[in-house]
Amino acid sequence: MDATTTTPTHGRLPSRRHGQRQRAGAGAAAAAAAAAGGAVRNLAYSFLDPLLCELRLLLAPRPLYGPVKATMLADGHAVAAGLVVAAVLGNHVRRVLAPWLGQFLWWHPVQAMRLARGTPHLFIEQQVLAATDAATLGFWALQTMALAATKALLRHRLLTDATTTTTTTTTTITASATGLTKPKSQRGKGFAGGGGGGRSSSSSAGPRAAAMRDTTSSMACLTDCYRIIYLTLCIMHVEYAYAEACWAASWIHAATHVALRGTTAEQLFTYRLLTGHHHHHHHHHHHDQQLARTESDQGGMAHWRGASLIAGLLVWWSWRHVVRPLRRHGVVAWAFSGLPVLGGLIGAATAHVIKYSNKYFIWLEMSEMLLTWAWLLLGLALVAVWRLCDGQDAE
């Protein structure tokens, strides 16, 4: 009897232990998979977050990115895509009619980089002479302030209109709900007490409603215009940043080449350019010699002012596009993020095109059309990404 009772018991124990081991192994595998998934998500977040943060700044400052994005998507993603198309076409018209708008020494980035690569001392001369023009400097400063003020005012107007629209919609819904919940005796009181009151209220409500509809329609059209102009200014800002980065790279290459690998003639030419001695000519008359010396001193001062302005602009560019991102994200986070990768890819592609510009001559001639198509694809891709993100948030 004992043998028959104990034998099945000893036979079940290994199977139970095996099941417990299987469950423990499955739990450990699930925990390892979850840990691996969490590590991948953390790596992806640390790689993409600084890059996305800097890209969002192209649309609006960090605290205002969400509200500005909401104003662009207020009428749906299809309308937002239409706004992007209109802004891209508006920027193309701007590039044709006023390509100089907002630009300064970096107006022609491709030509500047080709000149800096081929004859760096001539690039330095051209830049210094252009920087000595006070009228050009003042005009650029006025343009920069006007564009920044216009963009800030448009952003403020869009956010204000969005708040007003939300308040108006809430008021309308509340009024409709109040009218629906009002007792029948009060809703029909005007008709019970005589038809005159009802007719006068209905006759006055018609023109008032039409006027409100016209006002709402005109406000909607103005809001669309504001959004299109704002997106156009954002596209201009991106093109400005790219041109300025190409200009800074041209200066770094030209200055490094002349200082470290330049010939004696190139270095002497650059020295005379900065000091203004290249204006000095041999004169036999004493008065001519004094006049030449005065012109040389004035030219040297003007060239030093131009060189100082260029140095200040380079420092300002480094602060905005190098130092501030490093301070914002940290050196380690910045180094392991997508920012250096994206910057390196854009820089390598630009350097390749500059090096083989003769090979890509036809493409460079078609750059205006290609740039317009590129902006269309990028803008529509951005709207599609917004749509996907909003769909995931809704789920």
pLDDT of 202: 47
The alpha carbons of the chain give a radius of gyration, in whole angstroms, of 34
Specify the pLDDT at position 189.
Answer: 46
Record the pTM: 0.77
> How far is Cα 325 from Cα 178, in angstroms, rounded to an integer?
53
Which amino acid, residue 9?
Answer: T
The gap from C-alpha 156 to its chain's centroid, in whole angstroms, comes to: 18
The pLDDT, as a whole number, for residue 205 is 55
Contact by Cβ (8 Å): 266, 120: yes
Tokens of 54: 């800097």
Whether residue 109 contacts residue 242, with contact meaning beta carbons closer than 8 Å, is answered with: yes
Write out the chain's pLDDT in tens, 395 residues. Answer: 444 444 454 545 556 666 666 666 666 777 777 777 677 777 877 888 888 899 999 999 999 999 999 999 999 999 999 999 999 999 999 999 998 888 888 888 888 999 999 999 999 989 998 888 888 889 999 999 999 999 999 999 999 988 776 655 555 555 455 554 555 444 444 444 444 444 444 445 566 666 666 667 778 889 999 999 999 999 999 999 999 999 999 999 999 999 888 888 888 888 887 776 554 444 444 444 444 444 444 555 777 888 889 999 999 999 999 999 999 999 999 999 999 999 999 999 999 999 998 888 898 889 889 999 999 999 999 999 999 988 776 55
Q: How many CB atoms lie within 10 A of CB 65?
A: 16
- Residue 36 CA neighbour count, 13 Å, CB half: 6
